[in-house]
A and B are shown apart, each in its own frame.
Chain A
């Protein structure tokens, strides 16, 4: 009898053992605002992570069958709150943390990760940033443990101003931005780069308005009109952008818009026809790029969440993360960080790489224009983006002042 059961027991033990190993998920902490005023952008990011991770898991996961598990943590978009979350993550043994909303929070995470890694060399952490674009994070504040998967403000502005320089008839530009670090960075970079690339373009106004406090933009529209501007360049996002463009439409202001965040949650809906053929945006992907693989991916997301896929960089990031894990052959964060350092990735839109000097991603960029003449739209409005200019990854590279300390 015993003999008869032995092989079964062995098989069962093998199966169970294998299963235990495969079930040990690879946890990635997602730290972003999941409550409070910025909850909608945090929730949007979380859905993107979960969907992109599901794609990798469906293809067999990482490290020979382990699933990536996205574990959400709410930081209320607050740096102090984030430091507490990071302490908790260290206690709970997380090695990988990710975040995107707010550069102030990103700086707090870099700080916390650096401290943790020097105090707990046995339990190091690695940080992947999908949206915080303050140039400082990959320059003076750069860290070996931080990897940025979005192009920073200066790179975005460089690409955008290069495109603007090709607009022969453009002579007068108005700069309006939010009065805080990001808005200031956009305004100053735009001013400097436009002057360099097209000295004949006159900056007819440079405005910094309070962040998320202005309800009535009509006085600003009056000033833009009085300045004689042909185009407005702005890093505004959310209500600050929709209210601005809506007020301009209501007043019949006849200008083009050069933006970075006009396809975010609800913005295209709110702008409506006011934005068509008027609003340019710099992005890493959009819904009308002719690429079957990415279109199918985005459609799948839409079917599952009844919402549009927006941040293709999240997919790029998780693919590069998975590749780095597999290349390292271990979930040790130091080994993974070393594999990600200077990693290349053949994205469906062309080669992408993580720049070793400062851990800034170098990826293709597109200038888009809102149009009704498109196959895929945003938010069911019938309005979508079309490409008007594109940049290869290496074209948007900028020098860095980063002096990286490597382990």
Chain B
């Protein structure tokens, strides 16, 4: 039971981290219709900037300043790049963010080198706040989860309950009309992109310290972001939230409650032939395929319900 609770706590914490990472993509997609491939690179940039600033101001300075800086960079990217590309349609936008991803990754490696940097949480956040099954649960996991939930609630409130949110939403569907009514639509788009990038930067500061800040980090987390966004439904914050938790729990429990595929099959009444041609297949364990499960879920979702958990339209 204690072990189950531990897996639950770990799964939720991991899921919420994933949400923080994917919320920016969802925000930018739902408000601007741009699928931002460079998102994981902004995450990486956030981690490295957070590290650099923390050298001077300590961790907390990095936590505040790095996401702001990434947000400003994101805003500049929109203002001086994406806005011009936008006129040429979606393919141009995709290619633009795709190229941007490589550019940011290379620049980060030029500045900070090709090796990992020593970026960790301060001792205060690393102290355990409780223990389950004999294992400590460090404070930063709770802090990360709280920040993630806060980001989710604030975004929802901002978009659904404020005047700014109304303008943003109308700018997406009726850009010209909104502009006629006197709102600065390009400014709205730039702000949305900046906030989305800033969220990636925030995820980077936290994720970089919790996991590892190294040149591979963007490439490793990039694909999972898109899995979550698609499962949740493109452009749905709520969907992304649910999908993140689902993926986090799925992966954690797959490792924790390790059964072979053969055992699973027999538990649902099938009798796999343990010595036949597929013996190898049946002996594969759940933990071995744990990282594949989100992608299997992705394919399943696209077949069964292409709009995702809470998407408003099909892909």
| Contact of B288 (CB < 8 Å), options: A40, A210, A212 | A210
CB neighbours (8 Å) of A221 from chain B are 135
Residue in chain A with minimal CB distance to B117: A269
Chain A interface: which size bin? 35 or more
Q: Which of A215-239 contact B (CB under 8 A)?
A: 215-216, 218-223, 225-226, 238-239
- Give the residues in chain B near A381, CB-CB below 8 Å: 118
B251 at the interface (CB under 8 A from A): yes
Known contacts A222-B135, A239-B214; A216/B14 CB under 8 A: yes
Judged by a CB distance under 8 angstroms, whether A242 is at the interface is yes
Contacts of A219 in B (CB 8 A): 7, 10-11, 251-253, 255-256
Is the CB–CB distance between B220 and A215 below 8 Å?
A: yes
Q: When the two chains form their complex, are residues B115 and A265 in contact, meaning their CB atoms are under 8 A apart?
A: yes
A211, chain B: closest CB distance, angstroms: 10
Known: A215-B211, A220-B255, A270-B214. A225 touches B116 (CB 8 A): no
Given A219-B255, A246-B211, A213 contacting B7 (CB threshold 8 A): no
- Cβ of A272 within 8 Å of any chain B Cβ, yes or no, is yes
Rounded to whole angstroms, the CA-CA distance of A218 and B116 in the bound complex is 21
Query: CB distance A251 to B135 under 8 Å?
Result: yes
A269 and B115 contact, CB distance less than 8 A: yes
Chain A residues positioned under 8 Å from B14 (CB to CB): 215-216, 218
Q: Compute how far the CA of A212 lies from the CA of B140 in the bound complex, rounded to whole angstroms.
A: 24
Shortest B213–chain A CB gap in Å is 8
A351 at the interface (CB under 8 A from B): no
Identify the closest chain A residue to B114 (Cβ).
A40
A213 to chain B, nearest CB (A): 4
The verdict on A190 contacting chain B, using a C-beta distance below 8 Å, is no
Q: Which secondary structure characterizes the binding site on chain B?
A: helix
Please indicate the chain A residues that have their CB under 8 angstroms from the CB of B115 in the complex. 40, 265-266, 269, 307, 379
Q: Quick check: is A349 within 8 A (CB to CB) of the other chain? A: no
The answer to whether residues A210 and B136 also contact, given A246-B211, A381-B118 and a CB cut-off of 8 A, is no
Docked pose: A323 CA to B120 CA in angstroms: 47
Shortest CB–CB separation between residue B180 and chain A, in angstroms?
47
> Are A250 and B116 closer than 8 Å at their CB atoms?
no
Q: Which residues of B contact A214 (CB under 8 A)?
A: 290-291
The CA of A226 and the CA of B288, in the complex, are separated in Å by 19
Q: List the one stretch of B38-46, B89-97, B126-134, B197-205 in contact with chain A.
A: B126-134
Interface membership of B216, Cβ < 8 A: yes
Query: B221 within 8 Å of A by Cβ?
Result: yes
Are B3's CB and A242's CB within 8 A? no
Contact assessment for A243 and B211 in the assembled complex, using a CB-CB cutoff below 8 Å? yes
Known contacts A246-B211, A270-B212, A213 near B291 by CB under 8 Å: yes
The distance from the CB of B6 to the nearest CB of chain A, in whole angstroms, is 5
Taking the closest CB of chain B, its distance from the CB of A87, in whole angstroms, is 29
Interface check B162, CB cutoff 8 A: no
B50 CB-CB contact with A under 8 Å: no
**Smallest Cβ distance from A202 to chain B, in angstroms?**
19
B165 within 8 A of A: no
A39 interface residue per 8 A CB criterion: yes
B272 within 8 A of A: no
Bound: A272/B116 CA distance, A: 12
Chain B's closest residue to A264 (CB) is B115
A263 close to B (CB within 8 Å): no
Query: What A residues does B13 contact at CB under 8 A?
Result: 218
Assess whether A43 is interfacial by the CB under 8 Å rule.
yes
In contact, B216 and A239 (Cβ under 8 angstroms): yes
In residues 1-54 of chain B, which contact A (Cβ within 8 Å)? 3, 6-7, 10-11, 13-14
A123 contacts the other chain (CB 8 A): no
Contact: B116 with A242, CB < 8 Å? yes
- Which one of B118, B136, B255 contacts A272 once the chains associate, using CB atoms below 8 Å? B118
Which of the residues B11, B138, B287 comes within 8 Å of A250, measured between beta carbons? B138
Q: How far is the CB of A174 from chain B (nearest CB, A)?
A: 14
**Can you list 8 A-B contacts with CB-CB less than 8 angstroms, sorted by A residue number?**
A212-B220, A222-B135, A225-B135, A251-B138, A252-B128, A252-B131, A270-B212, A272-B118
Which residues of A are at the interface with B, using a C-beta cutoff of 8 A? Answer: 37, 39-40, 43, 179, 207-210, 212-216, 218-223, 225-226, 238-239, 242-243, 246, 250-253, 265-267, 269-270, 272, 307, 379, 381
The 7 closest A-B pairs by CB, nearest first: A266-B116, A252-B136, A213-B291, A219-B255, A40-B114, A266-B115, A218-B10
